[in-house]
Structure 1
């Protein structure tokens, strides 16, 4: 998992440097609108919406943007998005899960398939790689917190696992427990850097420099698609290779 979390950190910093905030806000707004349309527009009564708003706030999304996304759902505005998952393989057989929200399935499927093909990957059937991942809740805190304190709070909150490193703390919990666990952790540790449902790889594939560069180009191209909400892959990169990237 180390390589994957490092990649997430690289992307996070790169995102800030490249000012791709508007694209990120667009994806966050879409999730908020869909969550509000599917349930109650009040975050206190809608766990999915509450998590979407929490994730938006942790990414410094302005309150006006959040309110506007909820009002879109209440007013029946905006497209009716369908959630869809694509699965496939990247360079060196790395398993990849792509989650998308779209108002045009044909367009999205065509774009995702084309991206896989152009970047040395291969799009498979639904279920072809997801069995290699566990669907889990993930809560991330910065490295400024003490590992023992985080572990104690996580156990008290009902989390299943904690990974602490120099990059920070990643707390894992069951899908249905994410809202309760994150609320308990927020009371004990303060606001998290990230709170969301993710695909956690059961095993990882270690990549050399060439394979890592190819995979990153594929992931970047997929994430650049407006319909794509998230991309997850089961790879690992050593510190030596990371230093060369």
Structure 2
């Protein structure tokens, strides 16, 4: 399997920090509301909601905001969101997967298509690029959680499939259906994780030049600034000499 990419975790966002934080909280709250509405409003009885709450806490979302998002799911006037995935190609033929949560499919589809076009890419059919990615659960820990060997042992005992350790931390991978169980088991041995989430992990990565990287970053910015877009995943890497010029 492809290794963890440091570049893949860099957030390409513009604007003031408070605006970025507000947008992130909004997207996390939407996931909490949808997870609670689809299942039980009690995180202990709803694995998806438990992971959503954990992600919110990791982002330092206030408890009262989390509680409001859960309560909103039980309100009769709560919006009905549809989860949808878009797949396409950015500059240089780079594969991009966009996951959205929307109450207006026409609006979201139109916006996402326009973003790809503006940044020199094109939107494809569902399945056009996802075959080059593996759908996995990813659990991250800081280096302070333990040595690479200790984390590897804990991960194997918890039921994980793969572990990657680099200068930024430990990255533990497991099957989608095992994410909640593995996350809970690791918490008992390593403490609370930095983040637990479902990801699309590229099977291979492509290095890009400066011009291509600039176009791709423009596309990612446009996508991530859209309120309907929850996650953006790609399969490109930026060499150090190119990154220094960005």
Q: Could you tell me which residue of structure 1 aligns to residue 83 of structure 2? A: 83
Q: How does the TM-score come out when normalised to structure 1?
A: 0.94
After superposition, the Cα gap between the structure-2 partners of 1:79 and 1:111, relative to the gap in structure 1 and judged at 3 Å, is same
After superposition, the Cα gap between the structure-2 partners of 1:180 and 1:172, relative to the gap in structure 1 and judged at 3 Å, is same
Structure 2 residue runs of 5 or longer lacking an equivalent are: none
After superposition, the Cα gap between the structure-2 partners of 1:16 and 1:182, relative to the gap in structure 1 and judged at 3 Å, is farther
Q: Could you tell me which residue of structure 2 aligns to residue 64 of structure 1? A: 64
Aligned length: 243
Q: How far apart, in 2, do the equivalents of 1:147 and 1:24 lie?
A: 31
Task: Find the residue that maps to 1:85 and give its secondary structure.
Answer: strand
What's the CA shift string for 1:26-52, capped at 9, x where partnerless?
A: 000000000111011111111111111
Shift of residue 141 of structure 1?
A: 1.1
Residue correspondence of structure 1 range 102-117 to structure 2 within 5 A: 102-117=102-117
**Greater Cα shift, 138-147 or 82-91:** 138-147
Contact 2:4 2:171 in 1 (8 A): no
Residue correspondence of structure 1 range 1-245 to structure 2 within 5 A: 4-8=5-9, 10-11=10-11, 18-19=17-18, 20-145=20-145, 146-245=147-246
Q: How far apart, in 1, do the equivalents of 2:190 and 2:113 lie?
A: 42
Cα-Cα RMSD: 1.7
Contact 1:28 1:52 in 2 (8 A): yes
**Greater Cα shift, 174-183 or 144-153:** 144-153
Structure 1 residue runs of 5 or longer lacking an equivalent are: none
After superposition, the Cα gap between the structure-2 partners of 1:107 and 1:17, relative to the gap in structure 1 and judged at 3 Å, is closer
State the 4+ residue runs in structure 1 displaced beyond 6 angstroms: none
Q: How far apart, in 1, do the equivalents of 2:186 and 2:104 lie?
A: 38
Shift of residue 191 of structure 1?
A: 1.3
Task: Find the residue that maps to 1:11 and give its secondary structure.
Answer: coil
Contact 1:4 1:235 in 2 (8 A): no
Q: How far apart, in 1, do the equivalents of 2:15 and 2:50 lie?
A: 25
Task: Find the residue that maps to 2:48 and give its secondary structure.
Answer: helix
**Greater Cα shift, 143-152 or 102-111:** 143-152
What's the CA shift string for 1:37-70, capped at 9, x where partnerless?
A: 1011111111111111111111111110110000
After superposition, the Cα gap between the structure-2 partners of 1:206 and 1:86, relative to the gap in structure 1 and judged at 3 Å, is same
